[in-house]
A and B are shown apart, each in its own frame.
Chain A
Amino acid sequence: MQIKSVVVGPAEHSMARLALDLGLDYARTDWEHRDPKTASDWEHAVPADQLWWDHYVVQTESLAEARTLLPLFRSEGRAQRFVLVIRGLFPAADLPVWTPRSLQVKAGMSALTVPGLGFAVVVEGGKWVNVHAAALAALGCCSPATPRPVLGGLRVGISDPSAGAWLAGDSLGSFMTEQLLQPEPDDIYSVDVLIGPAELAQQLSEQIAAQPRRVTPPVWTPPATVLPPVDTAVVSPMGFLPYPDKPARALEPRELGRGGDLSETGLAALRPHDYVDVDGSRFGGLDRQLARRLSQLAVAGVPMLTRALPSPVRSMLGDRLVDCIEAFDVGDAPVVRESKSIDLRRTALDLYSPRAVWNTLLGRLGKPLLPVPTVSVILATRRPEKLASALDQLACQSWEAVEVVVVLHGFDPDLPEVRRAVEAYPGELQVRSVPADMIFGDVLNAGVSAASGDLICKMDDDDWYGPHHLRDLVHAKDFSGAILVGAQVEFVYLESLDITTRRPPLGEQYSDHVAGGTMMLGRDELRHLGGWRPVHRAVDRCLLQAVQAAGGLIYRSHGQNYVMQRHSGADSHGGHTWNPEDSIFLQSVAEQWDGFQPPPQIGPASDRPAGARLDALRSHFARVPVPGPSQSARSIQSHIQKAQE
């Protein structure tokens, strides 16, 4: 049976005709018609997750009508292609002002993927278009994230186009022509900092003398030993593959080009390889280009096998990063390879993200630093006995600007175990107590209302977190441009079986789901989304829906900072039994370990579970002697040894 298509709209408009206009293959499938006014058209015999369509075409007479139809699509399943036709609407034809945003709307409508060529965007509006604004708009069509100033509003000018790397793609950066370097006497400089030769400082100092009240940007001349920032909108950990399928690939000197810069296509080509082999002795005279390339590969978390790195390269990169680069071993298990990559990307982002590099430079220039976001962790708990271990994990977090808001759900802060845990926590901590009958969404909102951090992070009291959990999420929030970041549930400890499983990791990517106990988003963003929904469960799912409904992005970071614990269930006699939902965690498993085996990023946890398998799930032969005599058994010792290796 062939899959059908759907057309929504008034019956008087022929779908056959519309298909001709749109170039759709009308003849290929059978079509179902839905009338927005007929409720029965929207009822289905099967749930939405069993509805699949080829084309799903919606025709309306106005944008207003299209917006009213939106709720009807909630239970319409999935389609291979969705087409919305609003008759008579030409949204970008009549915009009064070409702002970057309106231009992006316009550009998005004309963006084309040309086979064999690439991506083309035409911005043409019948009015004069500012070229910079049009370029910014066109670039906005190339990435799912909204363009934003990566230097936090700092305006940097360059006097030589070859210094463009220092701007890291910042949309406020400028190439300073002679005209821009000499503004009118009553005008301001268009930048806050200038990158250029020392003579430029001399030129500007003469202008200071002429206009002493005007703020003059300091001039900074990059020394040959300092590397520029990495443009994290293009080169980032996004796309890392935990299980690559190709062997190591050598980095060739000819690949470095003039500046050693890595493109997004170059990075994508490296992702399927397990390692990039870098033999430093082959890069004579290319020290700066090699250091630049290694800094970019490090930010992207590309595992490398390096040999004979020249000392100028090591010096430019710094010992901390070189140690991470040289940590890889070709014999590493996939989980260890990934962990080392995470260490590498974290260190590289600490050193070479646009914000990190420019804060170092601004410090040298005596200018105010770009602000570092503060994080408020919301920890809601019903179990006083869990508080101490949860706070212990938070005390180990490497991100320093952390405030913890503990919400005690249904118990008193004067309980001795609560008081002890709170007193032992060395950082900033607020404690709120809410009644036991308060629904969970409101419990979280109570925590948020007490929080003061720029970012809110929800954490659970019974899961395990790596010490860099918050740092990695802050990095991800910064480079991904997503509203909400978090991690996938990859590592799960099944208490009843006493095993740890790893679900297939998908790598870092934009997603529609992250684990509830790892969600991080801006405090203001959360407020705009309406906070956590006041319901007793599924608050995380509702927040993810709200983010997507607002057109926001969700980014999934790596999963090695988080281990979920699946507790044993309790049977009717009060004893422990396996939780029926645990089967899900055995259905698709990439790796499996006996006992509690946290990933390398978490390391040996202080609060380890007891580690005893339920009696009912122990082997029959652990209770009953193995029957014998055996058949002429062939030796399996080698098999056991192999498994042990």
Chain B
Amino acid sequence: MDKGSHARSAAAAIEDELRHAGFALKALHTPRQETPLVRILISAAKATDLEIAGTVASLFGSACQDFTVDVLVEDRRPKLEEWLVTDRRFSFPRTDERQPAEAAYTLVLSAGTAIGLHSLEAMIDTLRQTQALVLRALVDGQSGAMELWQTATLWELSETGDPEKSARSAGGERWVSGNALGLHDFRRPKPKLHLRKGAAATLDLNIVVRDLADAATRLDYEQKIRHLEARLKKSEIERRRLEQGMAPNRGLSRARAIARKGPAYIFGQLKSRAGGAGS
């Protein structure tokens, strides 16, 4: 067995163990390679410094930080260059310069486009799932469109001349809405989360901000809140039952009500009580 295949089998074994432990890694979640995962080209020939900074700032907030960025400009941008001088991932080539493309994916964004926390992951997932050669997206407020290629694909298609033309003629271009990927103009609000009406009628999103400095809060804050909410809900139900002139559900009627809910509910309750007593 050669060195490379040995490393691959070791990685597969570790990922299998993680999967068994309930921690499944996506295909794009791999240890850092020598080359970055994504090479991002920010098309910024006529953009203002603020628009470029808006895109760059959103990249800092991305969950995926395995990228290099070429800000494609026509003139020098001294303020921006000074701002980013310490971060070696950023460079400012001229729009017509040819830079080495050592990355698994190549992404083109127009300056002013902001990405969300998980946008890069969503783009790569979509490219994989749709089996497209290139993923394109429109972003409200932006005149250009986003494009994501597997760099190897881009390179190979470019051998025939125009990679876009080749991708289109092969039926390999997939357009999606930028909103769906969390992309937006940096001056506009982030895209809203839309739920289908059925789910929206029954679901509420509870966003709980926890104080991570407090270990106890970190451990049981959610449990406590849920417990309090459940008690409040129960007491309101009791109040409305009393308003109807019905006796509170206690004793035999309570037992009947529990029995009606079935064994899954009963075992769940017993389990939660046993767990609660232990904590």
**Chain A residues proximal to chain B, CB less than 8 Å:** 1-3, 14, 16-17, 19-20, 26-28, 30-31, 52, 78, 80, 497, 499, 501, 577-578, 580, 582-584, 586-587, 589, 592-595, 616-622, 624-631, 633-637, 639-640, 642-644
Out of B41, B140, B151, B245, name the residue touching A630 (CB < 8 Å).
B151
B197 touches A78 (CB 8 A): yes
Interchain residue pairs with CB less than 8 A apart (5): A20-B244, A621-B163, A634-B152, A636-B152, A644-B171
Instruction: Report if B30 contacts A (CB, 8 A).
Output: no
Which residue in chain B gives the minimum CB-CB distance to A587? B177
Tell me the complex Cα distance, A425–B135, Å: 44
B201 touches A622 (CB 8 A): no
Residues of A close to B200: CB separation below 8 A = 52
B241 touches A497 (CB 8 A): no
Q: Which of B127-158 touch A at CB < 8 Å?
A: 131-134, 136-138, 140-141, 143-145, 147, 149-158
Instruction: Report if B121 contacts A (CB, 8 A).
Output: no
Instruction: Report if B175 contacts A (CB, 8 A).
Output: yes
In the complex with contacts A630-B101, A631-B103, A636-B153, A643-B131 CB distance below 8 A: yes
Residues of B close to A80: CB separation below 8 A = 201
Q: Which of B229-261 touch A at CB < 8 Å?
A: 233, 236-238, 240-241, 243-246
Residues of A close to B137: CB separation below 8 A = 586
| Given contact pairs A619-B108, A626-B158, a sample of 12 additional A-B residue pairs in the complex whose CB atoms are under 8 Å apart | A27-B240, A80-B201, A578-B138, A583-B178, A587-B179, A593-B171, A594-B173, A622-B163, A626-B163, A627-B101, A631-B103, A637-B156
B154 touches A621 (CB 8 A): yes
Instruction: Report if B279 contacts A (CB, 8 A).
Output: no
Instruction: Report if B79 contacts A (CB, 8 A).
Output: no
Residues of A close to B171: CB separation below 8 A = 593-594, 643-644
Task: Please tell me the size bucket of the interface on B.
Answer: 35 or more
Q: Give the interface segment out of B56-64, B91-99, B210-218, B267-275.
A: B91-99
Residues of A close to B238: CB separation below 8 A = 27
In the complex with contacts A26-B244, A52-B201, A583-B178, A622-B164 CB distance below 8 A: yes
Tell me the complex Cα distance, A640–B163, Å: 12
Most chain A beta carbons < 10 A, residue from B43, B101, B104, B137? B101
A203 to chain B, nearest CB (A): 61
Out of A619, A621, A627, A636, name the residue touching B156 (CB < 8 Å).
A636
Tell me the complex Cα distance, A5–B167, Å: 54
A329 to chain B, nearest CB (A): 20
B134 touches A619 (CB 8 A): yes
A633 touches B152 (CB 8 A): yes
B240 touches A26 (CB 8 A): yes
A30 touches B147 (CB 8 A): no
B243 touches A631 (CB 8 A): no
A78 to chain B, nearest CB (A): 7
Tell me the complex Cα distance, A630–B164, Å: 17
Most chain B beta carbons < 10 A, residue from A14, A30, A586? A586
Out of A19, A589, A616, A628, name the residue touching B155 (CB < 8 Å).
A628
Q: Which of B150-192 touch A at CB < 8 Å?
A: 150-158, 162-166, 168-180
B201 touches A3 (CB 8 A): yes
Instruction: Report if B82 contacts A (CB, 8 A).
Output: no
Residues of A close to B201: CB separation below 8 A = 3, 52, 78, 80
Residues of B close to A595: CB separation below 8 A = 168
Residues of A close to B202: CB separation below 8 A = 3
In the complex with contacts A26-B244, A620-B108, A622-B164, A577-B237 CB distance below 8 A: no
B133 to chain A, nearest CB (A): 6
Which 4 pairs of residues, A with B, have the shortest CB-CB distance? A619-B164, A633-B152, A626-B158, A630-B155
A583 touches B140 (CB 8 A): yes
Instruction: Report if B204 contacts A (CB, 8 A).
Output: yes
Instruction: Report if B276 contacts A (CB, 8 A).
Output: no
Out of A19, A584, A635, A644, name the residue touching B170 (CB < 8 Å).
A644
Out of B136, B140, B150, B246, name the residue touching A580 (CB < 8 Å).
B140
Out of A17, A578, A587, name the residue touching B244 (CB < 8 Å).
A17
Which residue in chain A gives the minimum CB-CB distance to B98? A627
Most chain A beta carbons < 10 A, residue from B101, B134, B138? B138
Residues of B close to A577: CB separation below 8 A = 143
Tell me the complex Cα distance, A26–B244, Å: 8
Residues of B close to A628: CB separation below 8 A = 98, 100-101, 155
Residues of A close to B172: CB separation below 8 A = 639-640, 643
Tell me the complex Cα distance, A499–B201, Å: 35
A469 to chain B, nearest CB (A): 27
Residues of A close to B153: CB separation below 8 A = 636, 639
Out of B147, B165, B246, name the residue touching A620 (CB < 8 Å).
B147
Tell me the complex Cα distance, A627–B93, Å: 12
Residues of A close to B35: CB separation below 8 A = 631
B154 touches A499 (CB 8 A): no
Residues of A close to B106: CB separation below 8 A = 627
A410 to chain B, nearest CB (A): 32
Residues of A close to B206: CB separation below 8 A = 1
In the complex with contacts A52-B201, A627-B98, A583-B151 CB distance below 8 A: no
Residues of A close to B141: CB separation below 8 A = 580
Tell me the complex Cα distance, A100–B241, Å: 44
B241 touches A643 (CB 8 A): no
Instruction: Report if B66 contacts A (CB, 8 A).
Output: no
B237 touches A592 (CB 8 A): no
Residues of B close to A17: CB separation below 8 A = 244
B175 touches A497 (CB 8 A): yes
B98 touches A625 (CB 8 A): yes
Out of B96, B147, B175, B243, name the residue touching A586 (CB < 8 Å).
B175
Instruction: Report if B15 contacts A (CB, 8 A).
Output: no
Tell me the complex Cα distance, A372–B54, Å: 64
A394 to chain B, nearest CB (A): 32
Out of A52, A578, A582, A589, name the residue touching B176 (CB < 8 Å).
A589
A640 touches B170 (CB 8 A): yes
Residues of A close to B179: CB separation below 8 A = 583, 587
B140 touches A631 (CB 8 A): no
Tell me the complex Cα distance, A181–B233, Å: 71
A587 touches B180 (CB 8 A): yes
B71 to chain A, nearest CB (A): 13
Residues of B close to A619: CB separation below 8 A = 108, 134, 136, 147, 163-164
Tell me the complex Cα distance, A622–B41, Å: 14
A624 touches B164 (CB 8 A): no
Residues of A close to B104: CB separation below 8 A = 631
B244 to chain A, nearest CB (A): 4
Contact with A along B27-70 (1 / 0, CB 8 A): 00000000100000101000000000000000000000000000
Tell me the complex Cα distance, A552–B204, Å: 35
Residues of B close to A634: CB separation below 8 A = 152
Most chain B beta carbons < 10 A, residue from A17, A617, A640? A640
A633 touches B156 (CB 8 A): yes
A530 to chain B, nearest CB (A): 30
Residues of B close to A592: CB separation below 8 A = 174-175
Which residue in chain B gives the minimum CB-CB distance to A597? B171
Which residue in chain A gives the minimum CB-CB distance to B43? A620
B41 touches A620 (CB 8 A): yes
Which residue in chain B gives the minimum CB-CB distance to A641? B170
Tell me the complex Cα distance, A210–B140, Å: 84
Residues of A close to B95: CB separation below 8 A = 624
Residues of A close to B240: CB separation below 8 A = 16, 26-27, 31
Tell me the complex Cα distance, A624–B201, Å: 49
Tell me the complex Cα distance, A122–B155, Å: 73
In the complex with contacts A586-B175, A587-B179, A620-B41, A16-B245 CB distance below 8 A: yes
Residues of B close to A624: CB separation below 8 A = 95-96
B44 to chain A, nearest CB (A): 11
A586 touches B176 (CB 8 A): yes
Tell me the complex Cα distance, A644–B236, Å: 62
